[in-house]
């Protein structure tokens, strides 16, 4: 049975949306090089659509006052994260093999140093998903 991991990523304070995306994409390349054949089957990233403005609207959060999300239902504060990612592994053994590589001391140090360039790690969230049910057209 496949294993899925979900990541909520927040850009570092003062970093532009484009720089965040550029750094995140390069970070995934780094993790892929480090993990080699144990990289997940997929690592899908989605970036929150933000529309930069000159003046903050009332009710916007301080974090994204000039880069509000395009909210359809909910509030700006519900969408403070800038990207979310879904990693899919073949099974628990594949997930553990990946973890062994990325948490090895040298690799973990490289990854942490890179994350400092673009992530607000105080807000980073990573969770294992349970049942995934998909409905298609």
In tens, the pLDDT along 39-84 reads 999 999 999 999 888 887 776 677 888 888 999 999 888 999 999 9
CATH number at residue 101: 3.30.70.100
% the chain with pLDDT above 90: 76
Instruction: Identify whether 97 is part of a domain.
Output: yes
Instruction: Identify whether 58 is part of a domain.
Output: yes
% the chain with pLDDT above 70: 99
Per-residue pLDDT, 77: 85
Instruction: Identify whether 137 is part of a domain.
Output: no
Is 22 in contact with 30 (CB distance < 8 Å)? no
Instruction: Identify whether 103 is part of a domain.
Output: yes
Q: Structural domain tally of the chain?
A: 1
- H or E element that contains 93: helix 92-102
Of the candidates 5, 7, 17, the one whose C-alpha atom is nearest the C-alpha of residue 125 is 7
Residue 116, CA atoms < 13 Å, CB-side half-sphere: 6
Across 2-18, average pLDDT: 95
- H or E element that contains 32: helix 17-35
Instruction: Identify whether 53 is part of a domain.
Output: yes
DSSP 66: T
pLDDT surpasses 90 at 93? yes
In tens, the pLDDT along 20-37 reads 999 999 999 999 999 999
Of the candidates 79, 85, 110, 70, the one whose C-alpha atom is nearest the C-alpha of residue 25 is 85
Domain of residue 20 covers 3-128
Is 7 in contact with 111 (CB distance < 8 Å)? no
pLDDT surpasses 70 at 98? yes
Instruction: Identify whether 16 is part of a domain.
Output: yes
């Amino acid at each position: 049975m496949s294993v899925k991991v979900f990541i909520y990523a927040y850009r570092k304070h003062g970093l532009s949306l484009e720089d965040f995306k550029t750094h995140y994409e390069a970070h995934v390349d780094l993790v892929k090089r480090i993990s080699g054949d144990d990289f997940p089957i997929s690592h899908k990233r989605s970036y929150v659509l933000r529309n930069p403005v000159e003046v903050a609207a009332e009710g916007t959060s301080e974090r994204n006052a000039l880069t509000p999300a395009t909210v359809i239902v909910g509030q700006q504060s519900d969408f403070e994260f800038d990207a979310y990612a879904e990693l899919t592994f073949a099974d628990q053994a594949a997930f553990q093999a990946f973890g062994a590589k990325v948490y090895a001391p040298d690799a973990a140090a490289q990854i942490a140093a890179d994350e400092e360039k673009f992530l607000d790690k105080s807000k980073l969230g990573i969770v294992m998903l349970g049942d995934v049910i998909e409905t298609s057209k």
